[in-house]
Structure 1
Amino acid sequence: MTRTTYAIALGSNRSGRAGRPEAMVAAAAARLGARVVSPIIRTPPLGPSIRRFANAAALVDSDLAPSAMLAWLKAIERDLGRRRGRRWGARPIDLDIILWSGGRWHARDLTIPHNAFRSRDFVLVPLAAIAGDWRDPVTRRSVRQLRTVVDRRRPRP
């Protein structure tokens, strides 16, 4: 496998082994050995959770194939205190592969690019801060362009 770059979304809305959500995101980024990490933003909850999230994005260079990268992310989540639970519930850490420099990938347990990232401001805002020119291999739009589309769809007060 040749060295590739992964764009990883990091999120937390519950304290864990490293502390408060912002500390959990920072600890996960450190364990990833991220080449670059976006600023951490606070975002409203998605789904039934009532706790605000701390979200960031990181670029990670690796020789791991996508399935092996996913297994490594799940091991980091477990090590930081994540346990299986309710979908969309509170969690100490959530790590998702959003994009990778290899383009598209599909396996039973993993699809790259991430299926929902194009509509998620909490992913696009931090990712645009560190990789705004990275192109979605499906739409061919840059992360910055995708963020603009989401901004336009947001209702205005």
Structure 2
Amino acid sequence: MTTSFAIALGSNRRTRHGSPQATLRAAIARLGRVVAVSEIIGSAPVGPSARRFANAVAIIESVEAPPDLLARLKRLERAFERRPGRRWGARSLDCDIVLWSGGAWCGPGLTIPHPFFRERRFVLDPLAQVAPDWRDPVSGHTVRQLRARAKRG
């Protein structure tokens, strides 16, 4: 059965693909069945990184179960020069599953909806461009409502 996923992508390091924005465009092209893509926005880093991030959200369709998609996204990150490192540090590519049309999911190493997406404007702003009426299965609020409640920054 095909389901939809909202994937948040971020980058704040140059790669062989070029700038962080070019890296996101190249990564999105490799996601598979992309049905919608937000604009790429700039955001301040969370944590110790000094470099600004480029962020976007893509809605994809997939027959994969959430853990299988997560494994594929981790392979994509490694293919884009992502290396294990300091939490919230500079990174070439970060891909997170934010929402899934199947509702909530909790398993080893993966929680959907993403535990912090409701407070992160760098996720909510692009997500609202492509899925404003998607409901958070935990709070029941739409992405548009969550964005209106989130602090700027």
Q: What is the aligned residue count? A: 152
Please give the alpha-carbon distance, in whole angstroms, between the structure 1 residues aligned to 2:143 and 2:35: 18
Q: Which amino acid aligns with 1:108?
A: P
- Give how far 1:7 is off: 0.2
| Alignment correspondent of 2:134 | 134
Deviations, residues 46-88 of structure 1 (Å, cap 9, x unaligned): 1000000000000010000000000000000001110111110
Residue 134 of structure 1 deviates from its aligned partner by 0.2
- Quick one: which amino acid aligns to residue 135 of structure 1? R
**What is the distance in 1 between the residues matched to 2:48 and 2:152?**
20
Q: Which ranges of structure 2 fall in alignment gaps of 5 or more residues?
A: none
Scaled by the length of structure 2, what TM-score is found?
A: 0.97
Tell me the residue number matched to 1:62: 62
**Corresponding residue for residue 53 of structure 1:** 53
Match of 2:21 in 1: 22
TM-score when normalising by structure 1: 0.95
Q: What is the CA distance between 1:154 and its match in structure 2?
A: 3.9
Q: 2: distance between equivalents of 1:81 and 1:54?
A: 16
Please, which runs of 5 or more residues in structure 1 have no aligned partner?
none
Q: Which amino acid is the alignment partner of residue 91 of structure 1?
A: R
For 2:23, the aligned partner's letter is M
* Structure 1: 4+ residue segments shifted above 2 A: none
**Which secondary structure state, in structure 1, belongs to the residue aligned with residue 70 of structure 2?**
helix
1:74-127 deviation digits (Å, cap 9, x = unpaired): 000001110111110000000000000000000011000000000000000000
Give aligned-pair identity as a percent. 58
Write the letter of the residue equivalent to 2:6: A
- C-alpha deviation, 1:17, in angstroms: 2.3
Determine the structure 1 residue equivalent to 2:115: 115
Report how far residue 138 of structure 1 moved: 0.3
2-side partners of 1:30 and 1:119: how far apart?
27
Helix, strand or coil at the partner of 1:28? helix
Question: What corresponds to 2:6 in structure 1?
Answer: 7
Cα displacement (A) at 1:35: 1.5
Alignment of 1:52-91 (within 5 A): 52-91=52-91
